[in-house]
Amino acid sequence: MKNKDLNYYYNIARNMLEDFSNVCDGKPDYICTPEKFGATMGLGGAGQGKTFETNYNTLHKYRLRMQMIKAHHEPEMSISIFGKELTIPVMGASVSGVKLSLNDVISEEEFYWGLLKGARDSGCIAMVGNTPACPDDLGVTVIEKNDGWGIPIFKPHSQEWLVQLFQLAEELNVLAVGVDLDGVGSQFWNEKQLYRKSEKDIQELVDSTGKPVIFKGIMNVEDAVKVVDSGADACYVSNHGGRPMDCGQGVAEVLPDIAMEVSGKIPILADGAVRTGFDVLMVLALGADVALIGRPLALMSVAGGYNAVKLYFEYVKHDLRLAMIMTGCDNLKEATMDILSKGLLG
């Protein structure tokens, strides 16, 4: 029998979808790249895919600094967040839209299930998004089947509807709830279905639920301060993998300034071109408490369901441990800017 490693699942995904690069780095000619004119975006980014590519390039401007002479300790990688212990500071980013973005190869429910159960079996958490092709509460109902172990991130719908969705999520006892504020730029929804949110709106949403609230799509210090002031429980630094807006800044570019303002107040989550455990450590060093992974886990869920998602988390965990050993980090607190250099790229 063939060894079911990550390549095995990548090959299945490749047969189910169009060609894509394993690293999902925004390089041309793969599905992980610019929108093809007139066709759907697939796993790519808006416009010419520059924001997507910039996420990858700005993160990889940094280099990890090796530090070898130090007493040996097994790195402590676990964290506690939203009252739960995670084996590693990594989550599955909220993804959705098999019909619109992933060739309609499996059902949306199966897709969410693979992500949610795969993360849970790894001692981690996955988020799920929502798509116009399915009911807005589909993710919450799949999370319920996972004993509430998951986080729904809803689009910025009308306030009334969001409050109802938050209430449903609370009734079904999910771990936390959130809104992808940058989802307002989603290419798949019609005008007048999604809205930008004011400071008053986000405050109202926080006040509407007893669950921890996450605001996703924060890319500058001003917005981050507003998230903290709203009483939210986490600030999620993300540009949605470059999907709503092209020519934008990379996450690694803005994360240190946001961390300077928010660190120690509420947890900082961040995603954007995180592919390996080495990338995770860099994102933590730049100021995040949790790094999230989007496209690779989406491919794994499509190709092999929760087993493949679990394998990806194992891969990340393995390399995060190595990254910590090699940079002299005994625990996650030691993952600071001191373990990074800006490399030759300046």
Q: Which residues bind ligand FMN (CB under 6 A)?
A: 43, 55, 93-97, 101, 129-131, 153, 180, 183, 216, 238, 240-241, 243, 271-274, 293-295, 298
In whole angstroms, what is the distance from residue 289 CA to residue 267 CA? 6
Contact at 8 Å (CB) between 156 and 181?
yes
| 3 state SS of 255 | helix
Q: How far is the CB of 100 from ligand FMN (least distance, A)?
A: 8
- Burial group, residue 88, by CB count within 10 angstroms (0-12, 13-18, 19+): buried
Closest CB to ligand FMN among 214 and 262? 214
| 3 state SS of 144 | helix
Closest CB to ligand FMN among 295 and 317? 295
In whole angstroms, what is the distance from residue 294 CA to residue 276 CA? 12
The DSSP H or E segment spanning 116 is helix 108-121
Closest CB to ligand FMN among 123 and 132? 132
Using CB atoms, what's the residue nearest to ligand FMN? 129
Q: How far is the CB of 90 from ligand FMN (least distance, A)?
A: 11
Q: How far is the CB of 43 from ligand FMN (least distance, A)?
A: 5
- Burial group, residue 261, by CB count within 10 angstroms (0-12, 13-18, 19+): middle
Closest CB to ligand FMN among 102 and 325? 102
Q: How far is the CB of 330 from ligand FMN (least distance, A)?
A: 27
Residue 275, number of CB atoms within 10 A of its CB: 22
- The full length of the chain comes to 346
> How does strand 63-64 pair with strand 79-81?
unpaired
Q: How far is the CB of 268 from ligand FMN (least distance, A)?
A: 14
Closest CB to ligand FMN among 124 and 325? 124
Closest CB to ligand FMN among 136 and 144? 136
Contact at 8 Å (CB) between 238 and 244?
no
Closest CB to ligand FMN among 55 and 327? 55
Contact at 8 Å (CB) between 320 and 77?
yes
Residue listed under structure tokens 């060894």: 3
Ramachandran angles phi, psi of 44, nearest 5°: -80, -160
Q: How far is the CB of 137 from ligand FMN (least distance, A)?
A: 13
- CB within 8 A of 295, min separation 6: which ones? 24, 32, 43, 95, 241
Q: How far is the CB of 73 from ligand FMN (least distance, A)?
A: 30
Q: How far is the CB of 219 from ligand FMN (least distance, A)?
A: 11
| 3 state SS of 330 | coil
Closest CB to ligand FMN among 75 and 310? 310
